[in-house]
DNA sequence: CCAAAAGTGTTGGCTCTACACCCATGA
DNA sequence: TCATGGGTGTAGAGCCAACACTTTTGG
C-alpha cells in the first residue's frame, strides 16, 4: 500500500517541505494456499484518499530500519503472523503511483503455511481478508502490478526451487503438493511423472506416519532441507 | 554509490531534521564486453567520507523522478552514454550501508555495446574507468554485493534470454558471440552445439556481409528482434 | 604452402512424456 | 462391496552432449 497519512495539508509550501525527497515504503503480497486456491491477503484502507479501497499491507520505512525488517514488522502488525517467508520482488517508483506524494515502494512477496492463524487486523485498516488471486477486487495505487509481479515470481520459483515448502504444512501428502503445483501453475500434471521428478530432486523425506481419512491412507512427506534450494523441480 | 553530499553538518538536530526519512538513490552497474573481458564502469568518489574510493555511479532520486529515468540521467551525466539497456536488480536498504545517513539504493544493471564512446566523467567524480570484473578494486559501501548481484543476474539471463544483444555491436560473428558467452559464463562451449542451439532459437538473422580479416572470412549476424526475449538459449 | 580461424554431422545415451490399472481403506 | 482417492512401470520419441576434420583466406 501507499501511505495515506490522513492528515490534511493546507498549503503547497507544507507539501514541498515535507516532500523534499521521495519517501520509502514496503508493501507485501502475502500468499497462502487455502481452500484449494492460491489466495493473498488484502486490507481495506481506512484513511487517506484511498480509504475504502483494497490494497496489500505496507507502510513507510523509518530511519534506521532494514527493508525486510520493516516488511516483517508490518506484516506482524497487520496479520499477527511472525514466521513468514519474505522475498524482495521489485521496487516501484513512479512518482504518480500515489497521487498524494512521491512514495517509492519496495514490494515483497510473503508466503505462509498457516493462513488460519491470521488475527484481527491492525487498527490501521478497516478490515483484512484472504482473497483468491483469480478474484481480486479493484486494488488501490499500482497494487495490481505488484500482484502480477508477485504471482509471476511465485510461479517461476515453483519450477526451479523448493519454495513450496513455505506454503505447505510440515507434513503433507503428494496429493497436496501436486494440487498446489497444478493450481498455481494452472495446468494439469501427470501424477506419476510429477512424483518421479520431485522424488528425484531429493528434497523430500518420507515420514513414517500416514494420513488416515475416508479412504486409502496417504504417505506423508516433509521438505528435507527447510530452506530455499535452487534445483530443477519441473 | 551512496551519497556524499560533501556538505558538513554541524548538529544532530540538523541531521535529524534532514534525515526524517530514508533517502532514495539509484546506483548502476554498467557492463560492457571489452578487450576479451567482461568489464564494468567504476568511478572514483571525489567528495564525502568515501572520497578516494571506487564505486558505481549513482545519485539521489529527486521528487517527481522515475527510478529508471534517474538511473538513465545519471548514467548520461557520468559517462555520456545515452542508449543503455537498463534493468532493475535489487534494492539495498541496510541503514548502515552508508555510514553517514540512511540511504536506500535501488541498484540497476546497465549494458552497453559502445564502451569506447564513454566521455570524460562528470565533475562529481575524480575519474572513471572500465575494469575487468575479475579484478575489481576494493569498492565503497555495499557495492561489492551489488557487483555480485549484477553479475549473477547477467549470467542467468544469458542462459534464457537474448540479452547478449545489448553487449554486442549490431553485426557480429559467431566467434564473438561464443567468446562473450564463454567468458561471462566462465566455461567452454562446444562450437557446433552452441551454433546449433543459438540458430534454433531463431533470434539471429544472417547478414549478407562477411567480416574479412587475416584469415577465412566470417559470416556476420544480427539479433533479429532487437528487444529482450525470453527463450531457452543454453 | 603454411598458419589461423571458420565452418560443418552423426551417433549413443539419456531424459521426458504419454499412458491405465491395481490397492487400501472406511462406510 | 463399493466408492474414493493413493500408488505404481514401461516404451517410444526427442533432445543433448560428445566428438574431428575440411575449408578459406592472407601472408
Instruction: Look at residue A135 and tell me whether its pLDDT is greater than 70.
Output: yes
Whole-angstrom Cα distance, residue B149 to residue B143?
Answer: 10
Residues 6+ apart with CB under 8 A from B76: B82
- Mean per-residue pLDDT of chain A: 92
Asked if the C-beta of A230 comes within 8 angstroms of chain B's C-beta atoms, the answer is: no
A187 in contact with nucleic chain C (CB within 7 A): no
Whole-angstrom Cα distance, residue B128 to residue B115?
Answer: 12
Contact in structure between A142 and A149 (CB atoms under 8 Å): no
What integer pLDDT is reported at residue B78 of this predicted model?
A: 96
Asked if the C-beta of A95 comes within 8 angstroms of chain B's C-beta atoms, the answer is: yes
CATH number of B12-159: 3.90.79.10
Residues 6+ apart with CB under 8 A from B125: B43, B44, B45, B46, B57, B78
Instruction: Look at residue A165 and tell me whether its pLDDT is greater than 90.
Output: yes
Asked if the C-beta of B23 comes within 8 angstroms of chain A's C-beta atoms, the answer is: yes
What integer pLDDT is reported at residue A15 of this predicted model?
A: 47
Instruction: Look at residue A87 and tell me whether its pLDDT is greater than 70.
Output: yes
- Name chain A contacts of B95, Cβ cutoff 8 Å: 63-66
What integer pLDDT is reported at residue A4 of this predicted model?
A: 44
Domain boundaries, chain A: 12-159, 161-223
- Name chain A contacts of B102, Cβ cutoff 8 Å: 63-64
Higher pLDDT: A189 or A16? It is A189
Beta strands in chain A (DSSP E): 23-34, 37-45, 54-55, 58-60, 85-92, 103-111, 125-132, 204-211, 218-223
Q: Alpha carbon of A69 to those of A27, A223, A226, B97, B207: distances in Å?
A: 12, 26, 21, 15, 53
What integer pLDDT is reported at residue A228 of this predicted model?
A: 97
- Find, among A129, A166, A104, A173, the residue nearest to A40 by Cα: A129
- Name chain B contacts of A21, Cβ cutoff 8 Å: 21, 23-24, 60-63
- Find, among B31, B141, B43, the residue nearest to B95 by Cα: B141
Whole-angstrom Cα distance, residue A78 to residue A52?
Answer: 17
pTM: 0.92
Instruction: Look at residue A59 and tell me whether its pLDDT is greater than 70.
Output: yes
What integer pLDDT is reported at residue B232 of this predicted model?
A: 84
What digits encode the pLDDT tens for the residues A203-228? 999 999 999 988 999 999 999 999 99
Q: What is the SS3 assignment for A174?
A: helix
What integer pLDDT is reported at residue A214 of this predicted model?
A: 87
Minimum Cα–Cα distance from B24: chain A residue:
A22
Whole-angstrom Cα distance, residue A96 to residue B108?
Answer: 21
Q: Closest approach of chain B CAs to the CA of A104, in angstroms?
A: 8
Instruction: Look at residue A34 and tell me whether its pLDDT is greater than 60.
Output: yes
Contacts with A, B 65-84, CB within 8 Å: 65-68
What integer pLDDT is reported at residue A12 of this predicted model?
A: 42
What integer pLDDT is reported at residue B4 of this predicted model?
A: 43
Q: Closest approach of chain B CAs to the CA of A101, in angstroms?
A: 9
Whole-angstrom Cα distance, residue A31 to residue A149?
Answer: 13
Nearest to A88 among B63, B68, B90 (CB): B90
- Name chain B contacts of A23, Cβ cutoff 8 Å: 21
Confidence category of residue A233, pLDDT binned at 50, 70, 90: confident
Low-confidence ranges of chain B (pLDDT < 70): 1-19
CATH number of B161-223: 1.10.10.10
Instruction: Look at residue A17 and tell me whether its pLDDT is greater than 60.
Output: no
A190 in contact with nucleic chain C (CB within 7 A): yes
Instruction: Look at residue A117 and tell me whether its pLDDT is greater than 80.
Output: yes
Nearest to B67 among A62, A63, A91 (CB): A91
What integer pLDDT is reported at residue A8 of this predicted model?
A: 40
What integer pLDDT is reported at residue B9 of this predicted model?
A: 40
Asked if the C-beta of A151 comes within 8 angstroms of chain B's C-beta atoms, the answer is: no
Query: Percent of chain A at pLDDT above 70?
Result: 91
What integer pLDDT is reported at residue A140 of this predicted model?
A: 97
pLDDT (mean) for A152-178 = 97
Contact in structure between B78 and B120 (CB atoms under 8 Å): no
Distance between first and last Cα of chain B: 34
Whole-angstrom Cα distance, residue A108 to residue B91?
Answer: 11
Asked if the C-beta of A90 comes within 8 angstroms of chain B's C-beta atoms, the answer is: yes
- Find, among A172, A204, A194, the residue nearest to A33 by Cα: A172
Amino acid at each position: 500500500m501507499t501511505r495515506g497519512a490522513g492528515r490534511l495539508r493546507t498549503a503547497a509550501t507544507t507539501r514541498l517541505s515535507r516532500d523534499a525527497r521521495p519517501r520509502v515504503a514496503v508493501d507485501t503480497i502475502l500468499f497462502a494456499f487455502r481452500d484449494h486456491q492460491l489466495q493473498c491477503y488484502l486490507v481495506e484502507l481506512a484513511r487517506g484518499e484511498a480509504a475504502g479501497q483494497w490494497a496489500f499491507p505496507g507502510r513507510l520505512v523509518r530511519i534506521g530500519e532494514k527493508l525486510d525488517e520493516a516488511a516483517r514488522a508490518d506484516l506482524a502488525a497487520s496479520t499477527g503472523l511472525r514466521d513468514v517467508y519474505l522475498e524482495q520482488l521489485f521496487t516501484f517508483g513512479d512518482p504518480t503511483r500515489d497521487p498524494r506524494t512521491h512514495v517509492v515502494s519496495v514490494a515483497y512477496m510473503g508466503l505462509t503455511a498457516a493462513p488460519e492463524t491470521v488475527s484481527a487486523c491492525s487498527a490501521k485498516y478497516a478490515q483484512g481478508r484472504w482473497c483468491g488471486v483469480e478474484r481480486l477486487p479493484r486494488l488501490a495505487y499500482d497494487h495490481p502490478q505488484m500482484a502480477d509481479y508477485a504471482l509471476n515470481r511465485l510461479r517461476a520459483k515453483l519450477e526451479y526451487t523448493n519454495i513450496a515448502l513455505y506454503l505447505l504444512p510440515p507434513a503433507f501428502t503428494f496429493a497436496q503438493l501436486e494440487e498446489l503445483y497444478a493450481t498455481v501453475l494452472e495446468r494439469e500434471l501427470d501424477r506419476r511423472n510429477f512424483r518421479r521428478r520431485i522424488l528425484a530432486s531429493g528434497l523430500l523425506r518420507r515420514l513414517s506416519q500416514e494420513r488416515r481419512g475416508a479412504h486409502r491412507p496417504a504417505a506423508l512427506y516433509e521438505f528435507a532441507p527447510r530452506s530455499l534450494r535452487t534445483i530443477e523441480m519441473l
